[in-house]
Amino acid sequence: MSTLVSNPPLHVFYLHGFASSARSSKARFFAERLAPFGLPLHCPDFNEPDFSTLTTTRMLQQVEAAMAALPPGPVALMGSSLGAFVAWHAAARQAAAATARAGAQSAEPHPITKLILLAPALDFGANRVREIGDEGLARWKATNQREFFHYAYNEPRTVHYALYEDARQYDSMEARVDVPALVFQGERDASVDPARVRAFCATRPSITLHMLDDDHQLLASLDRLWAESAAFLGLSGA
C-alpha cells in the first residue's frame, strides 16, 4: 500500500522547461506516480499569459503565487531544464527572504524543503548564446523577437529579448541554496553541458547527482527518476 507520512502535507510542484508545457510527458508521468499517495502535482503553466513575454522573473512570481494559494506545508520543487533553473532560484529567493526577516516571529508557510532537478539549465542565459550565436543574439535584441520551436504547440513561437536579458541577472553559481537536492543529468545531453552540471554539483554537499546514459529529455530513464525521487521524498510503497 502506498503511504505518505507528512503533517502538514507535502506540496509537490513540477516546473516545465522552455517551450514545453504543464502537460508534458514528464509532468503526466510524475502526476500519475504521485496520485496513489494522495499528492496532486502542481504544474504552473509558464506559457501564460503569453509565451512571448516569458521571463525568469515572471516564472518565479508564478511559482510563488501558486505556493501561496495552497494550505501551509512543505514544498518540493521538481524542475526540468529551464524549470530546474527556476526551481533553484525560487529556493534562493526564499532563503534570501528568510535571512532578511531573521528574528521575525512569523515562519515561512511554504518552506521549500527539497529540490529535484532534471537536466538543469543552470546557466540558461549562456545556453541561449551558445545556441544562437552572437549575431543571432544581436538580431534578437534589435528586433525584440526571436522564433523558437514550441513543442507543446508543435510550431514556432516568438519570444521577446527580455527572456535573455532578465535571465542574466540570475546567477546560479552565486545563489545561496542549502536545500537538499537530487540532480539527474544525461551524459548525451546536447542542450545542457554534462561537464558543467557535474562541476556545479561537486562543490555543493547538499546535492546528490545521478549521471545517466540518456539525452536531454531523460525519457529513457523515467523509472529510475521515479524510484530515486520517491525515496528522496519519503514515499513508501513506491
Q: Which three cell numbers stand for residue 30?
A: 510524475
Domain-located, residue 146: yes
Reported confidence tier of residue 1, pLDDT bands at 50, 70, 90: very low
pLDDT in tens, 121-130: 998 876 666 7
Look up the domain containing 19 and give its range.
Answer: 11-232
Reported confidence tier of residue 99, pLDDT bands at 50, 70, 90: confident
Distance from C-alpha of 121 to C-alpha of 76, rounded to nearest angstrom: 18
DSSP 208: E
Name the percent of the chain lying above pLDDT 90.
83
Domain-located, residue 3: no
Domain-located, residue 223: yes
Which DSSP string corresponds to 178-204?
-S-EEEEEETT-SSS-HHHHHHHHHT-
Domain-located, residue 4: no
Specify the number of domains making up the chain: 1
Distance from C-alpha of 121 to C-alpha of 193, rounded to nearest angstrom: 9
Model confidence at 107: pLDDT above 90: no
What's the pLDDT score for residue 128? 65
Domain-located, residue 5: no
Average pLDDT over residues 192-198: 95
User: What predicted TM-score, i.e. pTM, was given to this entire model?
Assistant: 0.93
What's the pLDDT score for residue 173? 93
Nearest to 183 by CA among 94, 80, 29, 110: 80
What contacts 121, CB < 8 A, 6 or more positions away?
Answer: 17, 18, 81, 82, 84, 85, 127, 191, 192
Domain-located, residue 6: no
Domain-located, residue 86: yes
Distance from C-alpha of 126 to C-alpha of 56, rounded to nearest angstrom: 14
> At CA 38, angle to CA 33 and CA 40, rounded to 5?
70
Centre a 10 Å sphere on the Cβ of residue 203 and count the other Cβ atoms it contains. Answer: 8
Reported confidence tier of residue 151, pLDDT bands at 50, 70, 90: very high
Reported confidence tier of residue 101, pLDDT bands at 50, 70, 90: confident
- Residue 73's CATH number: 3.40.50.1820
- Position 151, amino acid: Y
Half-sphere exposure (CA, 13 Å, Cβ side) for 54?
Answer: 25
Model confidence at 200: pLDDT above 80: yes
DSSP 230: H
What contacts 170, CB < 8 A, 6 or more positions away?
Answer: 56, 85, 89, 124
Domain-located, residue 2: no
Nearest to 10 by CA among 72, 55, 58, 99: 72
pLDDT in tens, 206-223: 999 999 999 999 999 999
Which DSSP string corresponds to 135-159?
HHHHHHHHHS-EEEEETTTTEEEEE
Model confidence at 110: pLDDT above 70: yes
Centre a 10 Å sphere on the Cβ of residue 120 and count the other Cβ atoms it contains. Answer: 31
| φ, ψ dihedrals at 116, nearest 5° | -125, 110
Element (H, E) at 223: helix 222-232
Q: Which three cell numbers stand for residue 203?
A: 562543490
